[in-house]
Structure 1
Amino acid sequence: MARALLCHTQGFYRAGGHRHARQLLPSRHSRFRIEHVPALLPQEWLSAHFDDLLSHWAHHTDWKVRHLRRVSALKLAEMSGGGTWPDCAKTLHIPWNTAQQSLKVIRQELNSRDLWSDFERSVESVASQLDWDTDRVHYGRRRELLSSWHVPADDWAELCRDPMQFGQGATSPTRDTATVLIWTHVTQGDHLHSPMLGALRESGCSTQRLVASINQLRTPANRKGGKRELLRRLETYSAVLATACDQRADTAAIATTFSSPADTNEAGRLLAPVARALTGASL
């Protein structure tokens, strides 16, 4: 009855702003919890559940799709945790102004194309999948475990082992670059909202150099040579770290996630430092 009495408009219940009545109940009965929702809808979920919406959304850009991924995460959080969208944004570690901007962009886009019903069907499809999943990722735990984590120096040296060499330019990859990219992959969060960049802002330090370094490494045109190899190693490292977060550094379980001999060898080189990082004082 509480849900029925709420006004529902533009994809969300009218519990979204500080001037509206607060909606404390989840907006649907869900088997998954808000802790199972990442800050950005993973690309695999987008591909699996949003093809129909995107096929009707002409001229969508990567920037607009990123807003869609964020708004979809907010909606999943409302479904499973309840509360206003600012409440949901806080739980997902999304800044209030960022969430507001994403909602503004998506509302304008979907209203102009009459796509709200497609959006709601797509998010409901994700929610239904999460309801039936038996191995849901606890993104809340991952965010908590990595809230003050940095790539250990030994791990960074291993990631940059010969023959890979980088220059010393302003945008060259650094240990901090790797920390942010690994955090982004493991938590499925926005790199701009990573704890490391947040700490720099809070201390009054410039984030320009680190953001430029991250963008240089993520730019498709730069994915060649040593940078491509580093990205590959970071993906392998992230997979090991994600499993360690989920299983609390159960080394035997982590090792079984790699099937081929080459992957097992690479995982073995990275596994011990990761396990030390998870069980040490850095977390």
Structure 2
Amino acid sequence: MATFVAKASTRKQHGRLAFTIRALDSPPPEAGPCAGLISLASQALTAPEAVEYLDGLLARCGIHWPGRTKILQMEPHRSAGFRAVAATRLNAIRIRRPGIRTTFPQPTTHQTKLAATDIPQRLPDTWTAQLHGLGVPMHGPHLRRDAAIRLVQMAHGGTRREAAISLGFDACTAHNTSMRLRQWQASDDHARHYQQALARLADHITTTPRLIDYRWRRDDLSQWVISEEDWDVITESVRRRQTPTGRPLTKWLHTRRLAAAVFVWTHVTGGERLYAPVLRDLRNRRSPHLRAIANESWSLEHPQRTSSIHALLAAARSEYAAGLATRIDQQVPPSVPRKRLRKQRFGWPQPSSDSLHDLQQLQSLACSDSCGLDLPG
């Protein structure tokens, strides 16, 4: 083992010793090399001198080492023993900008207690009550969004970018949210209080009965708008509640129907209004109606600040959203895997008998190739 570490970690280059260990993003796809890598890692971590070997390898990791970013991203997935050995070495290769403290990493603390699918984009008010008292009035929306991203990491692990994308955000949103809160976390003892509040919030969610699978709702409504038939039912309900003088003055435009779809999507999925699929599609197509639809959806969210027609529409669409949410939740039996149902529902191609036979042949070959290796355990 000592010989391998010496050969892998150093080589002669222009008369100097240079670090040559590569950073791998994933295990080798072939069965033989993958099994050999697992066997080698097991031997390195279980050897009596494992601490000395790991410390020697990490000591050669400099601030400009290409694998620095990857090894820091894998920090939530390491064991407690590895963290204890690598803590001092990894702290030396972190980039710390003057005046701004790096945000604390989010460990996976509730993997067996909390499901990432039960976390919405916009946390309910009953949940965010656990975050009150942190002293961030001007960053309230960003704190709510950052808490949702961190809850997904606490339940499922992974990087911050992966957690944000699983919620329906993009990588830019995750970065901007972090930057908004970074200065606040760097002052006083806010980071520690925030971490404690997140732990209380996660414990509160685990005790909540009948949690909602928000990810299933988001997937179901990812390409959805209110149909013409449903729109006629909603508008007829509003007309019956209007006064005789106001009924002929109301214009039921196509933009109003799209704004209603944004409003319904927000209530059913627990999402943020500006990240609704309708508005995202309009932004991608650079539609000239984007601003009008976004403003109309805001008026439906705050009917008390606008006209009476928005209050009537909001009431009718709230009833429609409640019925739609019930229908979505009843589509999937608890005993059937949801991932498989998603593929069948959206018409994804199913594997043919020939492809299944080829897959079985590949699996048998992979097993036969790995039988000759000295696997751990």
TM-score by length of 1: 0.72
CA contact (8 A) 2:299 2:310 kept: no
CA contact (8 A) 1:76 1:123 kept: yes
2:78 is aligned with what amino acid?
A
How far is the alpha carbon of 1:174 from its aligned partner? 0.9
How far is the alpha carbon of 1:181 from its aligned partner? 0.8
1:100-136 deviation line (CA, Å, top 9, x unaligned) = 1111112223333532222222221221122233411
Between 152-161 and 110-119, the greater mean CA deviation after superposition: 110-119
CA contact (8 A) 1:30 1:127 kept: no
Match of 2:123 among 30, 41, 57: 41
Go from structure 1 to structure 2 and tell me whether the alpha carbon gap of 1:222 and 1:169 turns closer, same or farther (over 3 Å shift): farther
CA contact (8 A) 1:11 1:119 kept: no
> What is the CA–CA distance in structure 2 between the aligned matches of 1:81 and 1:92, rounded to whole Å?
12
CA contact (8 A) 2:127 2:205 kept: no
**2:286 is the alignment partner of 1:204:** yes
1:31 is aligned with what amino acid?
K
Query: For residue 180 of structure 1, what is the aligned residue in structure 2?
Result: 262
Match of 1:10 among 100, 103, 107: 103
1:11-64 deviation line (CA, Å, top 9, x unaligned) = 434xxxxxxxxxxx83444422211111222222113x12232xx34xx14xx2
> What is the CA–CA distance in structure 2 between the aligned matches of 1:106 and 1:205, rounded to whole Å?
32
Query: For residue 31 of structure 1, what is the aligned residue in structure 2?
Result: 113
- Identity, in percent, stands at 25
Match of 1:227 among 310, 322, 335: 310
1:133-174 deviation line (CA, Å, top 9, x unaligned) = 34111111001111111112222222222144464499x971
Match of 2:272 among 155, 177, 190: 190
CA contact (8 A) 2:122 2:272 kept: yes
> What is the CA–CA distance in structure 2 between the aligned matches of 1:239 and 1:127, rounded to whole Å?
26
CA contact (8 A) 1:67 1:105 kept: yes
Structure 1 spans left out of the alignment, 5+ residues: 14-24, 251-279
How far is the alpha carbon of 1:69 from its aligned partner? 0.9
SS at match of 1:40: coil
SS at match of 1:149: coil
Go from structure 1 to structure 2 and tell me whether the alpha carbon gap of 1:221 and 1:131 turns closer, same or farther (over 3 Å shift): closer
Larger Rg: 2
> What is the CA–CA distance in structure 1 between the aligned matches of 2:326 and 2:174, rounded to whole Å?
29
CA contact (8 A) 1:78 1:84 kept: yes
Matches within 5 A, 1:1-283: 2=78, 4=80, 5=83, 10-13=103-106, 26-47=108-129, 49-53=130-134, 56-57=135-136, 60-61=137-138, 64-112=139-187, 114-161=189-236, 162=239, 163-164=241-242, 165=247, 167-168=250-251, 174-206=256-288, 207-219=290-302, 221-248=304-331
2:295 is aligned with what amino acid?
A
How far is the alpha carbon of 1:188 from its aligned partner? 1.2
CA contact (8 A) 2:118 2:213 kept: yes
> What is the CA–CA distance in structure 1 between the aligned matches of 2:216 and 2:202, rounded to whole Å?
20
SS at match of 2:223: coil
> What is the CA–CA distance in structure 2 between the aligned matches of 1:97 and 1:69, rounded to whole Å?
17
CA contact (8 A) 1:39 1:189 kept: yes
Cα RMSD (Å) of the superposition? 2.9
How far is the alpha carbon of 1:224 from its aligned partner? 4.7
Go from structure 1 to structure 2 and tell me whether the alpha carbon gap of 1:204 and 1:223 turns closer, same or farther (over 3 Å shift): closer
Go from structure 1 to structure 2 and tell me whether the alpha carbon gap of 1:237 and 1:113 turns closer, same or farther (over 3 Å shift): farther
Aligned length: 233
CA contact (8 A) 2:122 2:145 kept: yes
How far is the alpha carbon of 1:213 from its aligned partner? 1.6
> What is the CA–CA distance in structure 2 between the aligned matches of 1:112 and 1:184, rounded to whole Å?
34
1:155-204 deviation line (CA, Å, top 9, x unaligned) = 2222222144464499x971101101110111111111111112222233
Go from structure 1 to structure 2 and tell me whether the alpha carbon gap of 1:3 and 1:27 turns closer, same or farther (over 3 Å shift): farther
How far is the alpha carbon of 1:83 from its aligned partner? 0.8
